[in-house]
């Protein structure tokens, strides 16, 4: 299986030296990439993280949400499964300054615009052409998403699963950010919630890859 994984938090530049970002470390995405490699799959990792790229996979470094979207578009039709573990910014500055914004002591207003919904785009195109394992008998490509929720976790994650027509959703809380361990809630459209409590991201990643394998094989 050819697996495309995104990781890290994107940077949306206000000017050449300042940006809006989030606290995502990229650890979950990198754990997924390692687990997929260990399971014998081919991996392309698109990362906005400063972590050291794992050996043995194709690596694409990006900064902004637009960069990540362009990279996903480039590799998506070659993959059998996209796992969007990255924390992609929802908004980006309308007009980033071309030079450093000087401090004036006065309030500063920055106008933001929505970024492209990469997951929604991927779902809309997931049956375009075929991935390595796909054929005319099984036009199947998986799109897997993450949901970081600070309240109504399962309710909001299930809403995202249905509204974006995902094949799998992995939900967690802000406690997972930067941590080596996490509690996650995993669901597919045809299965109840699977809860993995206080486990290493390596173990969680192996479970996600295993479920992805079962989904794409139809078992």
Q: What is the pLDDT of residue 140?
A: 72
DSSP code string of 103-114: P-SS-----EEE
Within 13 A of 38's CA, how many CA atoms are on the CB side?
14
83: tokens are 């796992």
* CA angle 52–54–60, rounded 5-degree value: 80
Sign for the pseudo-dihedral over CA of 45, 50, 51, 55:
positive
pLDDT tens across 31-83, in order? 999 999 999 999 999 999 989 988 999 999 999 999 999 999 999 999 999 99
Instruction: Please list the alpha-helical segments (H only) found in the chain.
Output: 27-38, 65-76, 118-124, 153-163, 201-217
Compute mean pLDDT per 10 residues along the chain, 219 residues long, and list them.
96 96 94 97 96 92 98 95 97 97 94 97 83 48 95 96 97 90 95 95 97 88
Q: Record the pTM.
A: 0.92
174: DSSP letter: G
Between CA 115 and CA 108 the distance in angstroms is 21
Q: Which two tokens stand for residue 59?
A: 């690596």
Active-site residue set: 22
For each of the domains in the chain, give its residue range(s) and CATH number, in order of start: 2-217 (3.40.50.10300)
Token reading at 172: 């967690």
Residue in the block written with tokens 């008998």: 137
């Amino acid at each position: 299986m050819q697996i495309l994984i995104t990781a890290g938090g994107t940077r949306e530049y206000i000017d050449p030296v300042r940006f809006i970002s989030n606290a995502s470390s990229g650890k979950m995405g990198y754990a997924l990439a390692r687990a997929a490699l260990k399971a014998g799959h081919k991996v392309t990792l698109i990362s906005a993280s400063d972590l050291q790229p794992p050996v043995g996979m194709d690596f694409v470094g990006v900064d902004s949400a637009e960069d990540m979207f362009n990279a996903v578009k480039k590799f998506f039709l070659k993959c059998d499964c996209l796992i969007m573990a990255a924390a992609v910014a929802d908004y980006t500055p309308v007009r980033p300054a071309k030079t450093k914004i000087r401090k004036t002591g006065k309030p500063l207003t920055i106008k933001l615009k929505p970024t492209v919904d990469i997951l929604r785009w991927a779902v809309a195109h997931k049956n375009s052409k075929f991935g390595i394992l796909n054929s005319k008998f099984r036009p199947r490509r998986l799109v897997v998403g993450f949901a970081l929720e600070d309240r109504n976790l399962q309710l909001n994650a299930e809403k995202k699963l249905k509204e974006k027509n995902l094949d799998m959703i992995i939900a967690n809380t802000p406690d997972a950010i930067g941590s080596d361990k996490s509690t996650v809630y995993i669901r597919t459209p045809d299965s109840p919630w699977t809860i993995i409590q206080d486990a290493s991201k390596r173990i969680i990643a192996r479970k996600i890859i295993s479920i992805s394998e079962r989904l794409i094989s139809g078992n």
